[in-house]
């Protein structure tokens, strides 16, 4: 943390503050940290200690009960986890696949819908309401809702398919179709978020570059590709950043649709689900902490890369 400096008064012409007590003078002089410190202390205590502890646990063979004796085993857990092709690497792959696919679809679809909503039209208000609904819905309830719709026997999804002559699909209960189905649910719930962010970005753009391109005879696609998109790129990165963090950590809909361990064959077991299971189903704290530290490093890495890219765009 930086050295506490008494903040320079913002307006040198201001008369001495009309405070009577010494406490008031002190509070005003130190208001910068007086205001910021409680919130920071709250977060720091609840984060720094747990993360440090997770880091420590990852170097031990802690298991069973957190109170049980554990031994310091160095980086053995890391070696074990990184050579585990049974659960760990498939979980990494699923996390990457899930995040990559939902981000791509959500941004493309979100962009398309945002462009449709860009210019005012009649009934705009109702479309916006509809877009808000999935966003505010409780993810666990959303997972349950889709579980009924995708039920292979009684679900509406297979019913709809039968009307167009397609045979029943296993959806969530299929070993290879479960993960794509959960991606679909995530896309249903969170594309609206991308729409709202991109729409806010579009609305803030000035009309002039568009008009200039129109006068120059640019086609609709050319105007989007060479005028709108470059101007909107910082907003697109914000959307990817916000959605990406949450997509990497997706837990609720996976747990609601497939239960513990991401299903009996771990079909939807991402890193977050895997770490949760190791901690609270198997009480394998050493290994789970190792997975979490690696997961954390992945998240930080992705965020850093995106922020770096955004800064490059703004320069």
Write out the binding residues for another protein, residues 236-295 only, by CB under 8 A: 238-239, 245, 249, 251-252, 255-256, 259, 272, 275-276, 279-280, 285, 288-289, 292-293, 295
Query: In 69-84, which positions are buried (b, 16+ CB within 10 angstroms) versus exposed (e)?
Result: ebeeeeeebbeebeee
Determine which residue in the list 6, 13, 176, 206 makes contact with another protein, applying CB under 8 A.
Answer: 13
From the CB of 261, what's the least distance to another protein, in Å?
14
Distance set, CA 9 to CA 3, 16, 28, 33, 143 (Å): 18, 11, 10, 15, 53
Determine which residue in the list 6, 86, 119, 176 makes contact with another protein, applying CB under 8 A.
Answer: 119
Q: Would you call 219 exposed, middle or buried from its count of C-beta atoms within 10 A (0-12, 13-18, 19+)?
A: exposed
- CA torsion sign, 264 to 265 to 269 to 275? positive
Determine which residue in the list 4, 53, 75, 79 makes contact with another protein, applying CB under 8 A.
Answer: 53
Here the tokens at position 75 are 């980086």
Is 146 among the residues that bind another protein (CB under 8 A)? yes
Is 192 among the residues that bind another protein (CB under 8 A)? yes
Nearer to another protein, 62 or 179 (CB): 62
Nearer to another protein, 176 or 217 (CB): 217
Is 212 among the residues that bind another protein (CB under 8 A)? no
Is 219 among the residues that bind another protein (CB under 8 A)? no
Q: How many residues bind another protein (CB under 8 A)?
A: 107
Nearer to another protein, 157 or 179 (CB): 157
Distance set, CA 162 to CA 10, 63, 145, 155, 172 (Å): 70, 50, 20, 11, 18
Q: Of 227, 223, 231, whose CA–CA distance to 201 is shortest?
A: 231
Determine which residue in the list 90, 303, 306, 309 makes contact with another protein, applying CB under 8 A.
Answer: 303
Is 116 among the residues that bind another protein (CB under 8 A)? yes
């Amino acid at each position: 943390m930086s050295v506490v400096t008494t903040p320079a008064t913002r307006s040198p012409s201001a008369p001495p503050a009309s405070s009577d007590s010494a406490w008031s003078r002190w509070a005003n002089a130190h208001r910068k940290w007086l205001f910021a410190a409680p919130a920071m202390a709250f977060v720091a205590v609840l984060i720094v200690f747990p993360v440090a502890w997770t880091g420590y646990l990852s170097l031990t063979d802690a298991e069973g009960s957190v109170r049980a004796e554990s031994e310091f085993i160095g980086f053995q857990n890391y070696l074990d986890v990184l050579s585990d092709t049974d659960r760990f690497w498939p979980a990494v792959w699923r996390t990457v696949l899930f995040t990559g696919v939902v981000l791509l679809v959500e941004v493309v679809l979100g962009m398309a819908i945002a462009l449709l909503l860009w210019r005012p039209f009649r009934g705009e208000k109702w479309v916006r309401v509809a877009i808000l609904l999935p966003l505010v819905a409780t993810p666990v309830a959303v997972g349950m809702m889709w579980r009924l719709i995708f039920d292979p026997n009684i679900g509406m999804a297979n019913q709809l398919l039968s009307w167009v002559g397609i045979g029943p699909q296993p959806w969530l209960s299929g070993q290879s179709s479960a993960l794509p189905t959960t991606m679909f649910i995530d896309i249903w719930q969170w594309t609206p978020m991308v729409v709202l962010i991109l729409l806010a970005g579009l609305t803030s753009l000035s009309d002039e570059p568009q008009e200039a391109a129109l006068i120059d005879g640019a086609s609709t696609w050319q105007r989007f590709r060479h005028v709108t998109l470059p101007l909107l790129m910082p907003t697109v990165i914000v959307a990817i950043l916000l959605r990406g963090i949450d997509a990497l950590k997706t837990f609720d809909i996976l747990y609601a649709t497939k239960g513990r361990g991401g299903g009996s064959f771990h079909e939807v077991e991402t890193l977050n689900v895997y770490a949760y299971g190791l901690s609270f189903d198997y009480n394998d704290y050493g290994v789970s902490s190792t997975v979490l530290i690696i997961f954390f490093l992945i998240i930080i890495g992705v965020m850093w890369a995106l922020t770096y890219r955004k800064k490059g765009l703004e320069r």
